[in-house]
Structure formats: C-alpha cells, structure tokens
Amino acid sequence: MVQFRFLGILMAVAMRTKKPLDLHLAPWVWKQLCSMPLGGADLEEVDLLTYRNLQGILHLENSEITEDNFHVMIPLDSFMAHSADGRLVPVVPGGQNISLTFGNRTEYVERALEYRLHEMDSQVAAVREGMSTIIPLPLVSLLTAQQLEQLVCGLPEVSVEMLKKLVRYRDITESHQLICWLWQSLEEFTNEERVLFLRFVSGRSRLPSNLTDIPQKFQIIKVDRVRRSQPGDEAFLGKFLINE
C-alpha cells in the first residue's frame, strides 16, 4: 500500500510539472481514480473471457441448459470465482458454502461482477491518497478518465508533426536538404523509434497533451564536423547535431 501511495504521488507530480509518465493501467483504473462508476463493459474490456462466462451463466434462454442439467453443464457449484491474479475466491463472505443453482444464478453473476470490478478498491484508494498530498482530489473528480490519463501519461503517439513544433534551427534553415532528409527518415520510423529519438533529444519518452507545456525546444545545429565536448561546453541534451 505504501508503494501504491507513492505511485499516486508520482502521478500528481507528473500533472503538476507537465512531465508525463509512461504508465499502462487498465482503463477502469482511471475511471476509479476519477470516482466514476464501473459496469460490465469495463470488465469486458480487460477480461473478455470472464465477462463472457458470466453472461453465459446469466442468459440461458437460447441454450440447452435447464434447471435439470444446470450442474452438469455449468462447471461451478458455489459462489466462487477467479480473481485477477487467477486465485479461486468467494465472491461473498462464505461463498464457498453457498451452492450455485439455476434459481440463484442471477445473484451469483451480480456478486461475481461486483467482486471483479472492486477487488482493487483499496489499492486505488491508496493511489488517490498519494495524489491528494499534491493536488486537490475534488478537481480530479471533475475530470473524465481519458482526461486524467492524458494529464498523467501524456500522448502515447509521437508524430513528426509534433516534433516539428518542438524544434529550433541553428545555423541551418527548415528548407535545407539535410532537414528534409531528417524528417523523411523520422516519417519512416515506427512510433517506438520516434519515442527513442524524442528521449535522445529531450530526455522525455512522452509528450504532454498540450505541447505548449514544454518550456524548452530541442535544437538542430549544423556543424562542419562532430567534435568531442570540451570542458565548459553546454550539455548536449536538447541538441541534435547535423554534419554536412
């Protein structure tokens, strides 16, 4: 829980400093962080097999499963379900002692869905607690899940058009043949390769959702030859040297 709280602090710092984190969280986690309600579609998005199994137990109208053969056709005999980490757990207190029948299958599906959607509530609460040390939580609740994810993680795609907005030219013009070759090469890169280029010239692996939040552009400098940095030289981070 301490680590989840620390994650919340990091996320809030990313929002404050406009320096995104490369995080990959399930969509419903962002919804929970914004205090948005969850539903079956959220489970379907991250665990399609479990969702379909639950729907299969619930909707038997067009199947050959009846009350008489329910226990033969459904491989469950109690209020148990698999958790996110694969453990078989009771979906209600004492669920291992409650028999699953044709008549109470609706209640079982509701309880199982409720369990899966909220089994990480305590971890999400710890993340929100960490965020609250830096930013007011009521403001987070005003955001949509997509808006919060963009504020914390920035933009996953790094396009050439975005990079062109972040560059300054020194001793060379935008129309120079070398510059045209550079952008043409970057167009042929995969997104992962453009992310590596962005990291090389700026130290970032993500761009903020608003490019104006980047205070310093990287430079493209034309030099006659590439030389080793000398004592007193400026750091080369943020500069891309082109040798003509």
Supply the pLDDT for residue 158. Answer: 87
Beta bridge partners of 178: none
pLDDT band, very low/low/confident/very high, at 236 (cuts 50, 70, 90): very low
Q: Are strands 218-223 and 239-243 parallel, antiparallel or unpaired?
A: parallel
Asked if 38 contacts 168 with a C-beta cutoff of 8 angstroms, the reply is: no
pLDDT at 244: 53
Q: Is the pLDDT of residue 237 over 50?
A: no
Domain ranges in the chain with CATH number 3.30.2160.10: 1-153
All CATH 3.30.2410.10 domain ranges in the chain, comma separated: 160-242
* Token pair recorded at residue 140: 């987070």
- Domain boundaries 160-242, corresponding CATH code: 3.30.2410.10
- Judge whether residue 220 has pLDDT over 90: no
- For domain 1-153, say whether CATH 3.40.190.80 is its number: no
Do residues 206 and 188 lie in contact, with contact meaning Cβ atoms separated by under 8 Å? no
Output the DSSP codes for 80-127: EEE-TTS-EEESSTTGGGSBP-STTHHHHHHHHHHHHHHTTHHHHHHH
SS3 call for 243: strand
DSSP 169-230: EESS-TTSHHHHHHHHHHHHS-HHHHHHHHHHHHS-SSB-SSGGG--S-EEEEEESS-----
pLDDT reported for residue 10: 95
229 pLDDT band (50/70/90 cuts)?
A: low
pTM (two decimals): 0.70
Strand-pair partners of 222 = 242
For the stretch 8-38, pLDDT in tens is 999 999 999 888 888 888 889 999 999 999 9
Residues 208 and 15: their CA atoms lie apart, in Å, by 9
Q: What is the mean pLDDT of residues 143-164?
A: 89
pLDDT at 242: 56
Please provide the distance, in angstroms rounded to a whole number, between the alpha carbons at the two ends of the chain. Answer: 55
What pLDDT shows up at residue 240? Answer: 60
Looking at residue 173, its pLDDT comes to 87
191-212 pLDDT, tens per residue? 999 989 988 888 878 888 777 7
Residue 234's pLDDT band (boundaries 50, 70, 90)?
A: very low
For residue 159, pLDDT beyond 50: yes
Work out the burial of residue 15: count CB atoms within 10 Å of its CB; fewer than 13 is exposed, 13-18 middle, 19 or more buried: buried
**235 secondary structure, DSSP code:** P
